[in-house]
Every structure is written in C-alpha cells, then in structure tokens.
Amino acid sequence: MITNVGINWETETSPQEIKLITANSKKTRPRQAPNNFLYDIDFIHLSDFLFKAYYKHGIEGLFEKIKKAKTFEELNLDELKNFIPKSNWQRYFSVLVDYEDTQLQKKMGRTL
C-alpha cells in the first residue's frame, strides 16, 4: 500500500513525541536509512506515529481566526474543523483500509 503524504511528510505528519524521539536518536547514532526516519524508530513508536492525534495547524491559528471574526457567520466550519487533532491513521489510511484504528492498535499492542 502506498499513500502520498507530501515532500515534508517527516516534519508535517509526526506527533510531537515522535519528533523528540527522532531528534534524540540523531544525536546518539547515525540513521540506518537516511531517507526514511521510520526505519530507525521502535515498533511501539510506530504505533504512536500511526495513532497519536496531533494538530496539523497550530492552535494559535485557531485563536487568531476567532479573534479576527466580528460575527459567527465569518467563521468557516470546515476551516475550524481542520484544527481538530487527528492521527495519521485517520488522515491517510482509514480511507484506504477498511479496518478500525482501535482494532489495529490492540493487535499491535499484543505483539509488543
């Protein structure tokens, strides 16, 4: 299965915990696969990468939109929904794979 997540996918699609883990591992050892940071993370962190919800847009942007709006009608519901935290599973894979994220998360947890 292949899905296109964009050029800067590593920084744009990683929950904060994964960013910290990969930053720390860069300091302690060279990458095994320079073009794929997922190769270097543990299986438990792969689960975090797939299932931890994160903000794609900074929450400050949401506050700014609300501050600028003079009336409720000036707020676009679809734009506001983009600020809801979602996991990578929800963003990229749930439309391709007919499998609930909670079920897969349980199965992955049993293999650890």
- Domain with 40 in it: 12-110
The neighbouring-strand residues paired with 54 are: 86
The answer as to whether 1 is a domain residue is no
Type of residue numbered 65:
K
- For residue 1, the model assigns a pLDDT of 58
Task: Give per-residue pLDDT as tens, 51-79.
Answer: 989 888 888 999 999 999 999 999 999 99
- pTM given for the model: 0.65
Token pair in block for residue 59: 């929450």
Percent of the chain with pLDDT over 70: 79
The answer as to whether 6 is a domain residue is no
The answer as to whether 57 is a domain residue is yes
The answer as to whether 3 is a domain residue is no
Q: Which one has a higher pLDDT value, 17 or 110?
A: 17
The number of distinct structural domains making up the chain is 1
Torsion of CA 109, 105, 39, 83, to 10 degrees: -140
The answer as to whether 26 is a domain residue is yes
Percent of the chain with pLDDT over 90: 28
